[in-house]
Amino acid sequence: MGTLNSIGIGSIVLNMVENVPATISGATMWNVTDNERFNAQTLTGNTISTDIPEAYQPALINLTAAGVVRLMELTGIDARSIKVGDMTISKGGGTNTAITSANLREDGLDKLNNLGYDFGYYKALG
């Protein structure tokens, strides 16, 4: 797959999530992606450049999709349903979009956890 940048991740998410309003699909989408990249960098302790390495892409795609679905819920999009990949989420009658967003976020965090963390050790003097 090679490296992707925030625009590449955002494009994948736009193809994955249907009915993304224009207010989210532009600069907001790239900001969501970059924020998730920064959060992943902070969580793992690894430097993740803006050319996102292949190992981090599955996690960042899910985390960005979760953020987009959550934003769509918060902005109250005018659609009966939202498609995420092959799954259709009906709006109303509960918190279907919130559950989907939480599940995508959890899956993204699990993928990051599977990559491991960098730890630093030091010996105290004395």
Q: Please write the tens of the pLDDT for every residue from 66-84.
A: 888 888 877 766 555 666 6
Confidence grade of residue 4 (pLDDT, cut at 50, 70, 90): confident
Q: Let me know if residue 69 belongs to a domain.
A: yes
* pTM (2 d.p.): 0.72
- Residue 49 CA to residue 34 CA, distance in Å, equals 10
Q: Let me know if residue 70 belongs to a domain.
A: yes
Q: Let me know if residue 1 belongs to a domain.
A: no
> Percent helix, strand, coil in the chain (nearest 5)?
60, 10, 30
Q: Let me know if residue 121 belongs to a domain.
A: no
What are 91-118's pLDDT values in tens digits? 554 556 667 777 788 878 888 877 766 6
Is 59 in contact with 115 (CB distance < 8 Å)?
yes
What DSSP designation does 26 have? T
- More confident: 120 or 65: 65
Residue 52 lies in domain: 6-115
Split into its structural domains, the chain has a count of 1
Q: Let me know if residue 89 belongs to a domain.
A: yes
**Average predicted confidence (pLDDT) for the chain:** 77
What DSSP designation does 92 have? S
Mean pLDDT to the nearest integer, 41-62: 88
Number of other CB atoms surrounding residue 19 within 10 Å: 13
pLDDT at 45 over 60: yes
- Residue 76 CA to residue 30 CA, distance in Å, equals 20
Q: Let me know if residue 55 belongs to a domain.
A: yes
Q: Let me know if residue 124 belongs to a domain.
A: no
Q: Let me know if residue 122 belongs to a domain.
A: no
